[in-house]
Structure 1
């Protein structure tokens, strides 16, 4: 290749006529230069010494202008450039080193002049055209390396051991590694004072490899081919190195701690065996069932005593049985939900509580009727007896049965897998089917309890022995308070704790009925039998 002719001179000056205090670089017009250029996808720059001296002479017509020339070429030095061009040509001919990539070069002769060497380096960095420091006009081309060989380097007759040849070969090998890992960074190689290069391939990665659990994010600060490593997002994994994307786990799986594998999600429900909360509910329900059964046995053995008779023993038996079964229905809420338990849990709870509240309402109405029937010629006397309370309980319970049957017919409850309540676990729960049906059951119980509370409140000060209304008032107050507080707690919790809130409300409200209505009576029967007489009840007005 014949060198293109150009003139160059470089000088560094400070201040001058420029008012700016900062230093700047001024490139003077060039006259003659020796340049070797071959286009390519990747350019290797080089500054060599071919001519040993730069000389200048003044032009008579322009005494202020000095023209510089490179003189005294050395054949031994010119061999370096030929060796460099040969090495680039060998790399381009080998399809296994840089497939689909052409290696080019941009070489200059320094003429053993530091000013000329500086100008050549700046020209290589700027690319073709005007020399602009810190700016490149190479468009799509990339400058992969720049070689500068000292004049004192030793050379061998063996091509493969020649320093210039080895330098280009090392750059080619480094670029091969670089392209195989799809990374890019600028490489710089420089021989030592003896012209020898290290036998190790230069490290050419501008980014570290992204481990599994991370994904690559393109970076823009160094090169578009460089990247950063970002941890996979919530619910995603990557199981290979240098993954460009993370994969989302299926709904029934969740990433492990390192986000390298999707594991089956933890399954949550109120288990009979593996849940402490379930164990607490089981023990407490059985204790409450035992207490209620004990009260029922006491009432059966003392059913002919004035205390039991005065409170309508048939209603008391119905109320105690419904409370006792209410404690047992807690077991329908425990364990893994299946079709049968989902169908029975709300229905049994609703009907049993309706029977209990209906019994309390019947007791309240009977107290009011009994007070009015004590007046002479009262029309309420014909309503005294067993039929009226029984009819009240049956009528009120029938309405709840109709609501429950309608609910089951239209949209019955069913078990489902809740995958969206918690990201890292699956909630096995009962879907209530019809929300309207569920809240209709609760609403009807609330209406019965409110009516019973209002009637008992106004009848609490009756001036005779039938003053059970004050105990009913307090029991309904506890009952209504528990279920009113339960609704926001039920709506604000998720998973197994939603079921736990409902179980807690069942246990507390049942205990409220048991203690408020029957505790005093059991105390009189067992501890103060002298008070369990008809004469005392009529004289003191206490039950």
Structure 2
């Protein structure tokens, strides 16, 4: 219930209980009413006093006293889970005194209820320091015992002013719930400690949890208090640094009038309905006042999964709005022990109003949750006005406190018990240390101010399996559980606990991971769909980092995880598969014997042409004494056929996987064999020209006639090519090269010429020989057909030059095995051209027209040939034979 609504109820109750016209006269009525505002104080005397400022009632309403116009604070709505913390405080003191841990000393306490209000907290701490009912600053009237330190409070709003006051007085303080990072400042609060950690740690934990589940697109519900604003600012910072975006934020505001509140809630519902995320983070100080709004938002939050901060553990609101909090996740501090022993249960069971008649909190608890009449009739009347739907009755006395919801909550964290334990241990260590220095000193005279915090700093909680200590900021270092809150059948609450280690590897942070979800599957909280393997995140300009497009990895890159931020480049020898999620070995490309049709056709053609050449060679050898073979210098013909055959067979050096030796041999071999072939043709052409020049009487060319000239031409021209090749091999020989970049996904295994100058020198020299042979043969083309083969040489050289001139640009414009195919095609074509042009006409005469292969036919008809020509023919015939 909102505080302003409560104030109206109290005013109405006051007016109806004490009539306006008699209120000033009826002092008794007024005094009875004032009793409603009595302090909730609990005092147990002892040698050592522990001050306690605990939050038990959830909030305060102010009421102006008509007599002295002063403001009276009315604490309202005692919380069972908060009262349980008060029980833990009492239980520890009782157990410590029974165990006589402090020899000849007893522990006592002065506990006040802050009611969750800073004003009441300040008043309470001053009351404890003053030792009087009305606080007197800088004055102490504590009768018995020595005040050692303070426990409290639950929230940062009440703890900070307490810490500021106690810092002035030098008293140590241990809070059991304040998380404000401001309290970590040791210069400002040197005596402050807490059994929890600051909001920085909680926000870090929360961020790691969201990252673990892949939730990067969340909503935030915060409360309209300082804690809500502070936590939201920290969450925004941590979320931004970790790529988590906030889709929407809404503030639960309970300080508005009824009409504007409903209008405000309508806007909240509209915002929640439009949201696409299924995960909502709740931050701020928990109070009963928000239960009403959560219940109103039940229809839009039913399908949402809530993620709660540490101060939500054991909160009764989760029971009030069960459907909203069903399937929620929250953090719970891991305590060094559990208050679930039989002694604890027996102590709780013994608490009853009949045993503690002066316990006003217990009386309010019995009224509120057991509907029992109070001994104060004005309190009964007030309750009737506040809760007209409930009816009080006289209780039987058989009611038990553990029957009250949240008194024995499964999410209960004994943080107050831990705080009292730690403070008493520090006091004990201080006693032991000082007694060694001065054994005779009365321990009752120890001054705890400005000293006890030193012992708290070095305190080590004796737990073997986990370190529990205060860090340099006064925060109690401990681990945290993730709890999974589920509503089972018959509205039974089931809570699962999971150990959460944010420092562990991603897959080991939460063990085990069988979390139960309200929808049966993990909620979706992503701005964009997951990018599958083979894709990467591509951020959208001007949007949240968690909103992105999915872009396929570039050529040569893979991604093998979902939602990859960057693609991984494969090694130079690998290439992505079709899905681009794995690097596989690149395909090797070279002209093998089996991979392509052309790889089978070219060797077959090479062998076939080689066999044809061998056949022609055999024919020429068989008919070597015939005129047509003798008339054309048979030794050069044999050399030419052998070189052509070797040229055909050199094709096999271009096939298969290239290695360094084949790379060196392939170009050298065809270069030398072609040079020999062209040199032979050149020698033939020169000898034809010389022979005709030598037929003239007294010609000086006769001395050049003979085999020496032809052999010298072949030897000289071939030697130059051999020298060029040897120089090429010695300076920069060809070698195997892997081309990784021309064709993606393919390794082209090819031969690098080593020296381009060497390669083109070989080709150029062959071209030079062919050009000279072509020119000479062209000049001799008009000689008689019966013996002159110059026209065949002309045609063969024309074909030869055309092929190799065409090959050069094709060679430069192709890559890999296509380049090899161009070379093979040029070799086979030019060699076949030579073979066909020079030898097929002669084979035709030898095999088909043998009657023409006679000396008589070679010399020709006397009527048709002049005597001079006959003389020439006879000379040439005798020369070439």
In structure 1, the residue matched to 2:222 is 104
In structure 2, the residue matched to 1:18 is none
Q: Distance in 1 between matches of 2:692 and 2:483?
A: 105
Distance 1:274 1:474, change over 3 A: same
Q: Which residues of 2 match residues 113-512 of structure 1 at below 5 A?
A: 113=259, 117-118=262-263, 149-150=295-296, 159-163=317-321, 167=324, 203-220=524-541, 223-463=544-784, 465-512=786-833
Query: Secondary structure of the residue that 2:575 maps to in structure 1?
Result: strand
Q: Distance in 1 between matches of 2:850 and 2:689?
A: 27
Shift of 1:124: 12
Larger Rg: 2
Distance 1:515 1:90, change over 3 A: farther
Query: Secondary structure of the residue that 2:588 maps to in structure 1?
Result: strand
Shift of 1:204: 2.2
Q: Distance in 2 between matches of 1:254 and 1:125?
A: 51
Query: Secondary structure of the residue that 1:303 maps to in structure 2?
Result: coil
Residues 354, 397 of structure 1: 8 Å contact kept? yes
Q: Distance in 1 between matches of 2:598 and 2:740?
A: 22
Q: Distance in 2 between matches of 1:308 and 1:440?
A: 35
Q: Distance in 1 between matches of 2:532 and 2:688?
A: 79
Backbone CA RMSD of aligned residues: 4.2
Distance 1:285 1:433, change over 3 A: same
Distance 1:161 1:91, change over 3 A: farther
Residues 330, 503 of structure 1: 8 Å contact kept? yes
Shift of 1:422: 1.7
Could you tell which deviates more after superposition, 500-509 or 364-373?
A: 364-373
Residues 453, 477 of structure 1: 8 Å contact kept? yes
Alpha-carbon deviations, 1:7-54, whole Å to 9, x = none? xxxxxxxxxxxxxxxxxxxxxxxxxxxxxxxxxxxxxxxxxxxxxxxx
Q: Distance in 2 between matches of 1:233 and 1:307?
A: 69
Q: Distance in 1 between matches of 2:729 and 2:742?
A: 26
Q: Distance in 1 between matches of 2:850 and 2:724?
A: 44
Shift of 1:538: 2.5
Query: Secondary structure of the residue that 1:225 maps to in structure 2?
Result: coil
In structure 2, the residue matched to 1:539 is 860
Q: Distance in 1 between matches of 2:483 and 2:701?
A: 107
Q: Distance in 2 between matches of 1:411 and 1:152?
A: 84
Residues 326, 352 of structure 1: 8 Å contact kept? yes
Q: Distance in 2 between matches of 1:290 and 1:200?
A: 77
Shift of 1:464: 6.8
Distance 1:151 1:501, change over 3 A: closer
Q: Distance in 2 between matches of 1:514 and 1:176?
A: 92
Distance 1:238 1:199, change over 3 A: closer
Q: Distance in 1 between matches of 2:666 and 2:690?
A: 36
Q: Distance in 2 between matches of 1:199 and 1:282?
A: 68
Instruction: Count residues in correspondence.
Output: 432
Query: Secondary structure of the residue that 1:99 maps to in structure 2?
Result: helix
Shift of 1:424: 0.8
Contiguous gaps of at least 5 residues in structure 2: 5-75, 78-114, 117-153, 156-175, 180-195, 208-219, 224-250, 272-280, 285-289, 300-314, 332-481, 485-501, 507-517, 866-872
Q: Distance in 2 between matches of 1:481 and 1:444?
A: 15
In structure 2, the residue matched to 1:54 is none
Q: Distance in 2 between matches of 1:125 and 1:424?
A: 53
Distance 1:412 1:176, change over 3 A: farther
Residues 526, 546 of structure 2: 8 Å contact kept? no
Q: Distance in 1 between matches of 2:849 and 2:668?
A: 40
Shift of 1:198: 7.8
Shift of 1:476: 0.3
Q: Distance in 2 between matches of 1:198 and 1:524?
A: 98
Q: Distance in 2 between matches of 1:332 and 1:347?
A: 11
Q: Distance in 1 between matches of 2:266 and 2:178?
A: 24
Distance 1:173 1:473, change over 3 A: farther
Q: Distance in 2 between matches of 1:173 and 1:207?
A: 25
Alpha-carbon deviations, 1:337-379, whole Å to 9, x = none? 2222122111111110000000011111111112222222222
Q: Distance in 2 between matches of 1:421 and 1:385?
A: 55
Q: Distance in 1 between matches of 2:521 and 2:711?
A: 100
Shift of 1:305: 1.0
Could you tell which deviates more after superposition, 167-176 or 229-238?
A: 167-176
Q: Distance in 2 between matches of 1:437 and 1:443?
A: 10
Query: Secondary structure of the residue that 1:505 maps to in structure 2?
Result: helix
